[in-house]
Amino acid sequence: MKNNFVQLHKDVCFKPDNKKIIWQPRIGCWVDDHISRDGHLPGIYNGMTRPELYRELGCSARIYAYNSCFVRTEHPDVEVKMELLDPMRELHTISTPIGSIKCVMRKNTSNSGKYYEKWFANSEEELNILTWADSRARWSFDYDKYEEIGEEWAGLGAPCMYMPRIGIQSLYIRKMGFINTAYALVDYPETVKKFSDALEANQEGLIEVINNSPIDIINYGDNLHDGYLRPDIFEEYVLPVYQRRGDLLHKGGNFTYSHWDGDVKRILHYAKDCNLDGIEAITPIPQGDVTLAEAKEAMGDMYMVDGIAAILFDDIYTEEQLLEQAHEVIELFAPNLILGISDEISSTGDIERVRLIGELVNQYNSQFD
């Protein structure tokens, strides 16, 4: 490997006088779907581990495997268990002194993903049980796991992690689903706020662990999307949490960015108010609903993390169109740029195009050697 991606990743995030950028495509979907469908990766990549694949492609990795270093421990009076209902469905149960809740997850037939057949909380009473459990969980750091991951991914990038979703996003995506949450915001908003505040307090405990850990590149794994975040909801449930989080994490010397994907045009004007260093996965036209110029105008000197529409890696678009957008991202955002794919290359994407962008980035960086 020609590049020291660990140092380059650090320099891009933390050195104000740095002029280079880094190419960090996420390729997990491509890997997972090929293995689920075919049982192996295609061609010369057959048998490779993920780190080996990144080394072969000559690019850096955003190593979210470090998330497993942060260990959540439930309160002694909380029991969490999973059992198989049948080969395709899992029953998850959370038992507390004030009651139990259950969710059912169904496996996909085409890939390794799962989706909710039944959500954990479908009522105010069930949401109160979630609040009781989440408010009492604690966090710790596994240094042995940290060393293990460092050895596996050596040289591919600096350690980073993504935090659990904030309250409203946790309800939308993990706990209640969009419809239940939309009704809850109208029918029992005080209970929703109580859950959000409890989860925020719990995550501030996680931030204490982060600030005392060797990991200082921190993503908020929220998947913000303006289709379900009206301005009033964003201003009540997202903005103040981000502002407080940012204060705490910046005091610990961390680089912070949040995952915004899908359609973001109606929330992009909040970007500078979120106390973030950057935003990950903003998906530009022709896949998302904003141009790169619109993103730059809204973000100012914030970091773009990614920036190339994933669909451009499919052969329905030419390599020239892919390179044109890559050039545009670099021109608009460098050196405040961790170049990547917004959001991931799909299973139908041409993995060799990853090399093409790597060559472009190496050529750009060479002028600063």
Residue 155 pLDDT greater than 80, yes or no: yes
Q: How many CB atoms lie within 10 A of CB 342?
A: 25
Tell me what percent of the residues of the chain surpass a pLDDT of 70: 99
Residue 1 pLDDT greater than 70, yes or no: no
Q: Give the model confidence (pLDDT) of 26-66 as tens digits.
A: 999 999 999 988 999 999 999 999 999 999 999 999 999 99
Residue 2 pLDDT greater than 60, yes or no: no
The answer to whether residues 302 and 334 touch, using CB atoms and an 8 Å cutoff, is no
Number of structural domains found in the chain: 2
124 and 235 fall within a common domain: no
The CATH number of the domain holding residue 258 is 3.20.20.210
107 and 211 fall within a common domain: no
For tokens 């659990």, the residue is 164
Query: Parallel, antiparallel, or unpaired: how do β-strands 89-96 and 99-107 relate?
Result: antiparallel
C-alpha distances in Å from residue 367, one per residue of 21, 41, 261: 12, 35, 32
344 and 205 fall within a common domain: yes
Where does 164-285 show beta strands of DSSP type E? 217-224, 255-260, 278-280
108 and 228 fall within a common domain: no
Structure tokens at 14: 């933390």
The Cα–Cα gap between 295 and 280 comes to 12
The Cα–Cα gap between 166 and 202 comes to 10
125 and 203 fall within a common domain: no
Q: What is the pLDDT of residue 109?
A: 83
The Cα–Cα gap between 98 and 81 comes to 17
Q: What is the pLDDT of residue 110?
A: 77
Tell me what percent of the residues of the chain surpass a pLDDT of 90: 96
Residue 337's SS3 state is strand
| Mean of pLDDT values over 161-169 | 98
Residue of 85, 123, 87 whose CA lies nearest to 104: 85
225 and 349 fall within a common domain: yes
In Å, how far from its chain's centre is CA 11? Answer: 21
Q: Give the model confidence (pLDDT) of 215-234 as tens digits.
A: 999 999 999 999 999 999 99
Residue 208's SS3 state is helix
Query: Parallel, antiparallel, or unpaired: how do β-strands 278-280 and 303-305 relate?
Result: parallel
Q: What is the pLDDT of residue 262?
A: 86
Q: Output the average pLDDT for the chain.
A: 96
Residue 111 pLDDT greater than 90, yes or no: no
Choose one of 108, 136, 164: the last residue of a domain. 136
117 and 264 fall within a common domain: no
State phi, psi for 246 to the nearest 5 degrees. -60, -40
Q: Residue 113's domain spans which residues?
A: 75-136
103 and 167 fall within a common domain: no
Write out the DSSP string of 39-93. SS--GGGTT--HHHHHHHHT----BGGGGGGEEEE--TT-EEEEEEEETTEEEEE
Structure tokens at 172: 């939308």
| Mean of pLDDT values over 146-169 | 98
Residue 22 pLDDT greater than 70, yes or no: yes
Under 8 Å CB-to-CB from 156, ≥6 apart: which residues?
A: 5, 6, 51, 54, 55, 60, 61, 63
Query: Parallel, antiparallel, or unpaired: how do β-strands 114-118 and 138-141 relate?
Result: unpaired
Q: In what order do the strands lie in the sheet with 337-339?
A: 22-23, 337-339, 303-305, 278-280, 255-260, 217-224, 161-163
| Mean of pLDDT values over 275-285 | 97
269 and 320 fall within a common domain: yes
Residue of 331, 302, 335, 327 whose CA lies nearest to 19: 335
Q: Give the model confidence (pLDDT) of 73-109 as tens digits.
A: 999 999 999 999 999 999 999 999 999 999 999 998 8
The Cα–Cα gap between 71 and 141 comes to 6
Q: Give the model confidence (pLDDT) of 247-256 as tens digits.
A: 999 999 999 9
Q: What is the pLDDT of residue 3?
A: 67
Residue 4 pLDDT greater than 90, yes or no: no
